[in-house]
Amino acid sequence: MRKKIILITGAVGEVGQALIQTLTEQGATNLVTMDLQEMPADISGLSKHIQGSILDKALLSRLVSEYEIDTIYHLAALLSTRCEYTPIAAHQVNVEGTLGLLELAAEQSEWRNKPVLFIFPSSIAAYGIPDLETKAQFPQVKEWEWNYPITMYGCNKLYCELLGTYFSRHYRQLASENPIMLDFRCLRFPGLISAFTVPSGGTSDYGPEMLHAAAKDEPYECFVRPDTIIPFMAMPDASNALVQLAQAPRQSISRPVYNVTSFSLTAADIHDLVIQAFPSSQITFNPDVKRQGIVDSWPAGLDDNHAQKDWNWKPAYDVQRCFNEYLIPNIVKRYHT
Ligand code: AKB
C-alpha cells in the first residue's frame, strides 16, 4: 500500500518553512516537501525533501507512483516584483505549475475514490484598485470586489483561484459521469512578516526588510511613501490559517476563496514600531514609482468575515502582540545572540 502523505510545494520559502513547523507541532509525520532549494538544516529532519521543480513531469509521476497524496499545500510561486522582470517564467511557474498539480490532484482523487485536499495561498495582489481615492473608499475589500490585478503575479493568482475552483466543481463535466473532484480551498493573504526568514522578490517586502535591516543595524531605504497602506499578518498566523482552512469540515466551507487578515499598517507605522524597538535604526524613504504603483493598487484592508464565520478564523497576533511578543524578541535573539 502506498503511504498517505501531505505534499508541500515551495516548501523552502517563508510560508513553507513555517507550515512545516506548524504541521509537525500538530503531529504530522508524513510530510513530503518539494522545492528547487535544499531544505535548511534546522528543519531538514521534519520531512522527506525532494529537491526539484514542480514543472518536472517525470518527478511528479514518480511521486504519485510512490505515494498516496492526501493533501497538497501548493506554495511554490514567483512573487510580484520578480514576476514583473520575468513575466513568462512567472506564468510558467505560477500558472502552468499550478495546472500540473491540479491535474495530478484530480487524477489522484479519481484513483483513490476520495477528494485530494488542495490548499492554495493567493494574495492581496489578486486585487487591483485604480487609484488612491478608490482605495480610501474601500478600506476593507470583499473577495469579489476589485479583482483587476495589475501585476503578472496578481493575474496568475486570480486565474489559479478560478482554475482550482473549476477543477473542484466542473472538471471533465462532459467527459465523465460522476468524477470524484478534488477539494480546492484558497486563502488570500496580506503581506506576511516573519521573524525567522526574509522574503525575496515580493513588493510587500518593505515591511519585513525595514525590520530585519534595523535589527541588523543596517541602513534601509524604503521604496514606498510613508502613507502607503496595506494589510499584514504575522507568519505563525499565516501557517495556522492554512492548516485551519485545511482542517475545516467540508460542509462549513461556503466558498472556494477566503480573505484573511490581521492588521493594516502604513509604512510610517512600521517605521515607528521599528524605531521604538531599535532607536538607532537609519530608515529613509525613497519611493520607487513603479513598485509604489503596485502597492497602491493593493487594498488597505481585507474583509475576512467569511473566514471568521465559516471556519472561525481569528488571528492570534494583533499588531502589538505581533511586534512585542513575536517579531522583536525573536529577531533580537536571531541577530544579537
Ligand atoms: C508579494 O509582495 O508579492 C507578496 C504578496 C503580497 O503576495 N508578498
Distances (CA, A) of 178 to 113, 174, 221, 317, 328: 11, 10, 57, 43, 53
Which residue's alpha carbon is nearest to atom 7 within ligand 1? 123
> Candidates 15, 203, 230, 260: which one to mutate for ligand 1, based on the most atoms within 8 Å of Cβ?
203
Q: Ligand 1 pocket, 124 CB below 6 A?
A: yes
Atom from ligand 1 closest to the CA of residue 189:
7
What's the pLDDT tens digit per position in 145-187? 999 999 999 999 999 999 999 999 999 999 988 889 999 999 9
- pLDDT of 234 higher than 80: yes
User: In the prediction, which pLDDT does 1 show?
Assistant: 85
- pLDDT of 79 higher than 90: yes
313: Cβ contacts below 8 Å, ≥ 6 apart? 241, 244, 245, 258, 260, 304, 307
Domains (range + CATH), the chain: 3-192+234-261+301-318 (3.40.50.720)
**Single-letter amino acid code for the residue at 247:** Q
Q: Ligand 1 pocket, 101 CB below 6 A?
A: no
Percent of the chain with pLDDT over 90: 98
Q: Ligand 1 pocket, 208 CB below 6 A?
A: no
Atom from ligand 1 closest to the CA of residue 81:
3
pTM: 0.97
Distance CA 3, CA 12 (A): 23
250: Cβ contacts below 8 Å, ≥ 6 apart? 183
Q: Ligand 1 pocket, 79 CB below 6 A?
A: yes
Distances (CA, A) of 155 to 8, 69, 124, 247: 23, 28, 11, 28
Split at pLDDT 50, 70, 90, the class of 330 is: very high
Percent of the chain with pLDDT over 70: 100
What's the pLDDT tens digit per position in 261-319? 999 999 999 999 999 999 999 999 999 999 999 999 999 999 999 999 999 999 999 99
Distance CA 299, CA 137 (A): 10
Containing H/E element for 185?
strand 183-189
Task: Tell me how far the alpha carbon of residue 90 lies from the centroid of ligand 1, in angstroms.
Answer: 14
Question: Per the structure block, which three cell numbers stand in for 87?
Answer: 513575466
Task: Tell me how far the alpha carbon of residue 6 lies from the centroid of ligand 1, in angstroms.
Answer: 25
Q: What is the mean pLDDT of residues 61-76?
A: 97
User: In the prediction, which pLDDT does 176 show?
Assistant: 85
Q: What is the mean pLDDT of residues 39-67?
A: 97
Strands 229-234 and 263-266, bridge-based pairing: antiparallel
- pLDDT of 337 higher than 80: no
Distance CA 225, CA 248 (A): 39
Q: Ligand 1 pocket, 256 CB below 6 A?
A: no
Q: Ligand 1 pocket, 75 CB below 6 A?
A: no
